[in-house]
Structure 1
Amino acid sequence: MTTKPYPLQFQPEMKERVWGGRALEQFGLQLPDGPIGEGWMIGDHPNGTTKVMNGPLAGLGLDEVRERYGYVLFGTKGAPADNSTRFPLLIKLLDCNDDLSVQVHPDNEYDRLPPGELGKTEMWYILDAKPGAKIIYGLKPGVTRETFAQAIAEGRILESLQEVDVKAGDSFYIPAGTVHALCAGVLAAEIQQNSDTTYRLYDYDRPGLDGKPRALHIEDSLNVIAYEGSGASRMTTELPGPGQWLLLARSPYFTVEKGAVDGTWPLQTTPESFVILIVCEGTGALTWPDSAQPGRIPVKPGDCFLLPAGLGDYTLEGTFTVLRSYLP
């Protein structure tokens, strides 16, 4: 980088969704009018590119930062030789004021992917959940393509789906091929492949934002579902001891860990990968050395930071819980 690498914070891209609400305002985010379901916090996608809002690179889109600085930003695991590939991950905060559609995502090998698009493996960390909140997470044992297709045709799809109660601190790994849906009353952080491909199986017969039913993708969904199991896993996460990382998800596309800050925690990026931090609860600061003046950014719940691979030393201080994501 022409400027010394430093932690990047981005102006979120807000997405209106029929199932959204206004809960993201609790993080101090400015929302446009309407039901806002997704805050794209770190994104480099044709459907949403976030812009840096701090430091010397303020005003540049993540795509521009990526094109200019390549390896210094990505690390050696993520940067192609010509810096042409999009940033590999997409980071969101989700406000589920109503149930999301029942859906499934393809993998990278599916031959009917939209041109230039990737598959979508993701994970959720539940930031908050109202009493009784739940999600749909996989098919019931024994469901096959044939029995599932029949249930869909006969309007009995919900009979084939597993429901799971959720609470704050729960973590769900959702590989491509997993049937899933967040339901009403859930606030979640989502770490995913940089993809916007979703195949809907069921949408509760409700109108979309334009008053018309949203499209379903039954054939594509039936094609990509992992009927014998996708490798999905879930855990109720205890708060790790201060200065320790608890593994939440490890996939071919990302590793996600949860940490507890209580005091001062010195850390480092490595030349292999960038680091993404998502603050879950509590407050404190992110600091890093700088030849001119030490850098410091206050942190609060909902804050998301991209630490370039070339940053090196940084410190978390205060009392808060944080998610750390990087390339495996």
Structure 2
Amino acid sequence: MKLYPLKFKSIYKERIWGGNKLQSQLNKNVTGHSIGESWEISDVKGEPSVVAEGELQGKTLQELSKTFQEQLLGKKVHDAFGTKFPLLIKYIDAKSDLSIQVHPNDKLAKERHNSFGKTEMWYVMQADKGAKLMVGFNKEVTKEEYQEHLNNNTLTEILNFEEVKKGDVYFLPTGRIHAIGGGIVLAEIQQTSDITYRIYDWNRVDAKGNARELHTDLALDAIDYTVHENYKTEYQETQNEVTTIVNCPYFTTNLIPFTGTLSLNHADKDSFVIYMCVKGNVRFKTQNHTETLNFGETLLLPASIKNVTIHTEETSELLEVYIS
């Protein structure tokens, strides 16, 4: 069996804050009214992505990693992570506000959960008028001051809220307190980890009147209390060019806005490459394979495939993700 550009079956997650935009806007084949997440590529334990089509249909991402190893992952990635796929790729629809949360770094996550930490980034695909994200603090605070606000139910007074629009990018290193606000659809790229410390959940309860578990004590040592002047990632988009929007030790993410045809060469990379279609639809052509990627779909290009031609009849946009 040979590797080819791979699409996986989406894994849908019902969430208390979820909506129906994954169906209505991203055309996901899912029923229900509170679907908050579509996991596109996952090697989280117990939540494996499964190949959707072609000769490898039905195989899990973990099975492919074990079978093809460097051909799928790249030698550098395989050397660093073995057969554990290092990234988790999602689309998120927040109908209402997510909980305020933080993720531990690699050291804490390893000690407490035998897991990777969770550095992540957001690319806003759609935002209702006035929709906001919460990222970081709006002033310098000590751990003690933070605890005082938490205990007094005044935490939101020291948090940084920002109104967002399509194309906004936020990079979230471990330790940075954050929350997606209601009315936002975004693409999320992160380390393979499902470790989240929930700090504050707006005092809401589920249909049975139960509040969700909070992890306030665990979060104390995980939070970075530093305030930053600017939390949004600034970048200059250029049509028909590959623009790097995030570059960190865990992943690099580029934005490709284009019309017509572009040839992409990955000979300089020792990694798989992931494509997320965040606008329009795109046809991918490799030496032996043609694949169409529609808005809201995701494609995994194995490390052994170095050349790909992309084509669109309209103005389309891709996020291109790999490990440097």
Coarse TM-score class (shorter-chain normalised): over 0.9
Q: Is the 8 Å Cα contact of residues 175 and 230 (structure 1) preserved in structure 2?
A: no
SS, match of residue 77 in structure 1: helix
Please tell me the residue identity of whatever aligns with 1:77: K
RMSD over aligned Cα, in angstroms? 1.9
Match of 2:130 among 132, 135, 149: 132
Q: Cα 1:236–1:166, aligned 2, differ >3 Å: closer, same or farther? A: farther
| Alpha-carbon distance, 1:111 to partner | 6.1
Match of 2:323 among 319, 323, 327: 327
Match of 2:265 among 254, 265, 268: 268
Higher mean C-alpha deviation, range 299-308 or range 170-179: 299-308
Q: Which residue of 1 aligns with 2:306?
A: 312
Match of 1:253 among 238, 250, 255: 250
Q: CA offsets per residue over residues 144-187 of structure 1, 9 Å max, x none? A: 11100110011111111000010000000000000000000000
Q: Is the 8 Å Cα contact of residues 286 and 316 (structure 1) preserved in structure 2?
A: yes
2: CA distance between counterparts of 1:251 and 1:173? 9
| Alpha-carbon distance, 1:85 to partner | 4.0
1:5-16 pair list within 5 angstroms: 5-16=3-14
Please tell me the residue identity of whatever aligns with 2:63: E
Q: Cα 1:46–1:300, aligned 2, differ >3 Å: closer, same or farther? A: same
Q: CA offsets per residue over residues 182-223 of structure 1, 9 Å max, x none? A: 000000000000000000110011113654111111111111
Q: Is the 8 Å Cα contact of residues 13 and 41 (structure 1) preserved in structure 2?
A: yes
Q: Is the 8 Å Cα contact of residues 106 and 120 (structure 1) preserved in structure 2?
A: yes
Q: Which residue of 2 aligns with 1:49?
A: 48
Please tell me the residue identity of whatever aligns with 2:307: D
Q: Which residue of 2 aligns with 1:21?
A: 19
| Alpha-carbon distance, 1:14 to partner | 0.3
Counterpart check, 1:298 vs 2:292 = yes
Q: Is the 8 Å Cα contact of residues 172 and 232 (structure 1) preserved in structure 2?
A: no
Matched positions, count:
320
SS, match of residue 11 in structure 1: coil
2: CA distance between counterparts of 1:8 and 1:249? 24
1: CA distance between counterparts of 2:168 and 2:111? 31
Q: Is the 8 Å Cα contact of residues 15 and 39 (structure 1) preserved in structure 2?
A: yes
Q: CA offsets per residue over residues 40-80 of structure 1, 9 Å max, x none? A: 00111114111011221111011111111110111122113
2: CA distance between counterparts of 1:232 and 1:250? 17
Match of 1:204 among 202, 205, 223: 202
Q: Which ranges of structure 1 fall in alignment gaps of 5 or more residues? A: none
Q: Is the 8 Å Cα contact of residues 169 and 238 (structure 1) preserved in structure 2?
A: no
Q: CA offsets per residue over residues 233-261 of structure 1, 9 Å max, x none? A: 4235554221x111111111000110122
The two structures have a TM-score, normalised by structure 2, of: 0.94
Q: Which residue of 2 aligns with 1:68?
A: 67
Q: Is the 8 Å Cα contact of residues 69 and 83 (structure 2) preserved in structure 1?
A: no
| Alpha-carbon distance, 1:117 to partner | 1.4
Q: Which ranges of structure 2 fall in alignment gaps of 5 or more residues? A: none
| Alpha-carbon distance, 1:116 to partner | 2.9
| Alpha-carbon distance, 1:312 to partner | 1.6
Q: Which residue of 1 aligns with 2:151?
A: 153
2: CA distance between counterparts of 1:92 and 1:209? 26
Q: Which residue of 2 aligns with 1:78?
A: 77
Please tell me the residue identity of whatever aligns with 2:250: Y
1: CA distance between counterparts of 2:246 and 2:223? 20
